[in-house]
Structure 1
Amino acid sequence: MDRFDAMTVFVRVVEAGSLSAAARVGPQSLTSVSRHIAALEERLGTQLLRRTTRHLALTDEGRLFYERAKAILGEMEELEGALSAGRDEPSGRLRVAAPGLIGRYRIAPLLPRFLARYPSVDVDLVLVDRTVDLVEENIHLAVRLGRQPDSSLVARKLAEVHMLTCAAPVYLKRRGTPKSPGDLRDHDCLTFSDTAGAIEWRFRSSSTQVSVRVTGRIWANSLYAVVAAAIEGGGIVRVPSWQVAHEIAAGRLRTLLDAYRPPPTPVYAVFDHARRSSPKVRTFVDYLVDQWAGSDLETVTSR
């Protein structure tokens, strides 16, 4: 069995929705498609598809294999295109994940110029306020805030952003204004993270870092949600400056604990080592670095 051919057939079956539909797209015989899938499952030692009389569904292992196989085939297509053209020209579909507002205000406006410069590239911009799995979700690169832990990912710094602690005037009138980070323990803090529960907010006092474990009655995995709750007086929120610039300017939120504001948070482009040589990934990261050179994203929403 040719593994590349079997991988191609498997991806075609998943996207077509059935073995017979994949055979028609091929085009190849239904028997040939079935043999490729059976041989692939035998080689891997696991079931990839669950077949019924009405439809087929991916197993957990099948979904993982599909996402990785699709990424590999896409990279192969891009590489073949670049080599056949005799140059390292970016081409193919590029999937970029980024936090909602930073994607909306600081990436989306840059895309038309990038696409005009590289007409063989298409871009999918996925806006999510969570950490995406690059492999499972077939993301070529992600824009992330904060220091990146040692991992299999390549991280390249793009810019910096300030983290602001703020609350609505109505909340401060009702509950009082915290004077130091420790006072936050007696307040309702609106927490944003991937998983529910108490989290730590870090501040700086002189040259000393201060960490405060905060809790509250509202948790969300969306920055939009916690900011919306803060505006309505739901509690104290701590978010990137670009998330609340308009609300602060309009007086809907007030900054707190400015004397304890921590150093700026770095913004990185992260991608898998396997994509380091991908022309479309490398070119897009270079483009962001050039466009954001020396940038502080504090006023990102005032454009």
Structure 2
Amino acid sequence: MDTLLSLHLLDAVAERKSFSAVADRFSLSPAMTSKHIQHIERQVGARLLNRNSRNVSLTEAGERYLAAVRPLLEGLAEAKAQVSHATLAPHGVLKASMPVWMANSAFARLIAVYRAENPKVTLDFDLSGRMVNLVEDGFDLALRVTMALGEGLIARKLSMVRFYLVASPEFLNQIGRPTTVTDLSGAPFLAYAPMANGGHIRFGEGADAVNINFRQIMQSENETLLLLAACEGMGFVFLPHWLVNDYITDGRLELVLPDTLCPTTPLYAIYPDRNYLPAKVRSFLDFLSGPNGFGVNQK
């Protein structure tokens, strides 16, 4: 039995959740399609699909197995396209992990443009904020502001992310608008939990370093909650420009000391090291790093 065909059938059944639909697509009988799946199950020594009269779903073993196999199938298709000098259209499910703050209108506009250009790609984005294992959890890539890499992963720099110090106009009207860094000493501060340091923040190095000792009144791992708390006048907060630009434009937040306090950090795409990136992954990375991607919203 053709094992490669069996793998393609397993992938298709898992995606469509139907033996009959996949059988029609591959011009096979449902019974033969089932035999191919059984062939793979015998090879791996585990049940990969749950089957009943109403639905089909992957078992836990099936999810792990397909997470490992799908990149190989995509790589084979990509290699075939390159050898034949053909252009393989991006297709399939693009599963990506991203920071919580990517849930903003500017990024939504970008992915709408990407999807219009690549209609055969289905987007599956996890913005839970958890640090996923790309391979074990079946992710194609992750967007991160850290370059910390696990084994078998590589990083591609996409853009720079600026962090603005912001506060609500009402809050600033009450306590006054800082004109120097020293004016921030003891001021109420909303801290991003993974970077919280008791309200103490240091920028720069050596003689040019700037120290701020805020009064930390709240911390959270969710940037959106920090944003909303700042809009309610609870205090100062550092947030990515992508998240706060619209709020600054419409007057709900104000920039504070932008010429002095505007740290930047690289945004990386992290993905498994493969000889051939699937077209869906390559097209998404090229789009984000291109002129219509992150570069259009750097202010």
Question: What does residue range 160-171 of structure 1 map to in structure 2 within 5 Å?
Answer: 160-171=160-171
Q: 1:100 maps to which residue?
A: 103
Question: CA, structure 1 residues 165+273, in 2 after alignment: closer, same or farther (shift >3 Å)?
Answer: same
Matches within 5 A, 1:1-303: 1-83=1-83, 86-87=84-85, 89-93=87-91, 95=94, 97=96, 99-101=102-104, 102-106=106-110, 108-109=112-113, 115=117, 122-125=120-123, 129=127, 130=129, 134-135=134-135, 140-142=140-142, 144-151=143-150, 152-171=152-171, 179=182, 183=186, 187=188, 189=190, 191=192, 199-200=195-196, 203-204=202-203, 207=206, 208=209, 219=220, 221=222, 223-256=223-256, 261=261, 263-274=263-274, 276-278=276-278, 281-282=281-282, 285-286=285-286, 288-291=288-291, 295=295, 297-299=297-299
Q: Secondary structure at the match of 1:274?
A: coil
Q: Is the 8 A contact 2:288 2:294 kept in 1?
A: no
Render the CA deviation track for 1:9-56: whole Å, top value 9, x for unaligned: 222322342445544544434443333333322322333223345434
Q: Is the 8 A contact 1:16 1:22 kept in 2?
A: yes
Matched-pair contact (CA < 8 Å) for 1:11–1:66: yes
Question: Secondary structure of the equivalent of 1:162?
Answer: strand
CA distance in 1, matches of 2:66, 2:217: 40
**How far does residue 255 in structure 1 lie from its aligned partner after superposition?**
3.3
Question: C-alpha offsets along residues 251-276 of structure 1, whole Å, 9 cap, x if unaligned?
Answer: 32133465773641112233321165
Residues 54-76 of structure 1 deviation map (CA, whole Å, 9 limit, x = unaligned) = 43432222123234434433343
Alpha-carbon distance in 1 for matches of 2:297, 2:245: 10
Q: 1:280 to 1:246 in 2, by over 3 A?
A: closer
Superposed CA RMSD: 4.3
Shift of 1:225: 4.5
The 1-side partners of 2:254 and 2:19 are apart by: 59
Distance 1:291 1:110, change over 3 A: farther
Query: TM-score, normalised on structure 1?
Result: 0.68
Residue identity over aligned pairs, in percent, reads 25
SS in 2 for 1:92: coil
Q: Mark the runs of 5 or more structure 1 residues left unpaired by the alignment.
A: 192-196
Gaps (5+ residues) in structure 2? none
Amino acid at match of 2:108: R
Looking at structure 2, the residues matched to 229 and 180 of structure 1 have their Cα atoms a distance apart, in angstroms, of: 21
Give me the whole-angstrom Cα distance separating, in 2, the residues matched to 1:45 and 1:255: 60
**Rounded Cα–Cα distance in structure 1 between residues aligned with 2:274 and 2:212:** 36
2:36 aligns to what SS in structure 1?
Answer: helix
User: CA separation in 2, counterparts of 1:54 and 1:277?
Assistant: 36
Q: Is the 8 A contact 1:163 1:262 kept in 2?
A: yes
Tell me: CA distance 1:123–1:19, structure 2 relative to 1, closer, same or farther (3 Å): closer
The residue type paired with residue 15 of structure 1 is: E
Give me the whole-angstrom Cα distance separating, in 2, the residues matched to 1:56 and 1:125. Answer: 22
Separation in 2, partners of 1:41, 1:34: 11
The residue number in structure 2 matching 1:194 is: none
Quick one: distance in 2 between partners of 1:32 and 1:50? 17
Shift in Å, 1:243: 1.7
